[in-house]
Amino acid sequence: MPLITRLFIKSGLIFFFISLLIGIAAQIQSLYFPAIIPLFWHTLMVGWITQIIMGVSMWMFPGRKKEESFQNQKWGWITYVFLNTGLALRVIVEPFVNVSGPEFWKMLLVISAVFQFVAVCSYVIEIWPRVMSPKQRIKKKRAAS
């Protein structure tokens, strides 16, 4: 399993645990904080499920270059860094954001949104050409050799 996939899965497991902690907090009145419900759902659906889908598909889909280098996996690395930074930033910042609040937190929330957008775009760039039939795969292999 390539390093990037291991990182995706392990980061996903951490977000999975965080999402459940947030879920527990949401059930306890004294631990409740603003934006807790969207944070629960997004750490679960983006941090865990989407992240594990991305990591495993980068490993298992056809057309993966065996040699692990940044050049060969650049879209994967961009996805990993921006997705995790973007989501972590959201978890930290969103409870402090409200319409009349300081501009600093709002700016960070916008940055987290943009980071997640960049992550998903780079994932699509990486995986779209790898969704191929066996014939296309053979053709691509022949062209590469």
Binding flag, residue 34, other proteins (CB under 8 A): no
When asked if residue 81 is in the footprint of other proteins (CB under 8 A), the reply is no
Per-residue b or e along 10-32, where b marks 16 or more CB atoms closer than 10 Å to that residue's CB: ebbeebbebbeebbebeeeeeee
Applying CB under 8 A, which of residues 24, 60, 68, 138 lies at the interface with other proteins? 60
> Under a CB-based contact definition with an 8 Å cutoff, are residues 54 and 123 in contact?
yes
Q: Which stretch binds other proteins (CB under 8 A): 2-10, 20-28, 43-51, 70-78?
A: 43-51
Interaction of residue 50 with other proteins, rule CB under 8 A: yes
CA–CA separation, 139 and 76 (whole Å): 23
Instruction: Considering only the stretches 10-18, 22-30, 69-77, 102-110, report the one whose residues sit in contact with other proteins under the rule CB under 8 A.
Output: 102-110
Among 131, 138, 139, 141, binds other proteins (CB under 8 A): 131
Nearest residue (CB) to other proteins, 1 versus 113: 113
Position 138 contacts other proteins (CB under 8 A)? no
- Sole window of 12-20, 23-31, 70-78, 118-126 interacting with other proteins (rule: CB under 8 A): 118-126
What are the CA-CA distances from residue 55 to residues 11, 77, 113, 123 (Å)?
10, 10, 20, 10
The helix or strand, by DSSP H or E, that contains position 135, with its residue range, turns out to be: helix 134-144
The rounded distance, in Å, linking the Cα atoms of 98 and 143 is 54
Nearer to other proteins, 70 or 104 (CB): 104
113 binds other proteins (CB under 8 A): yes
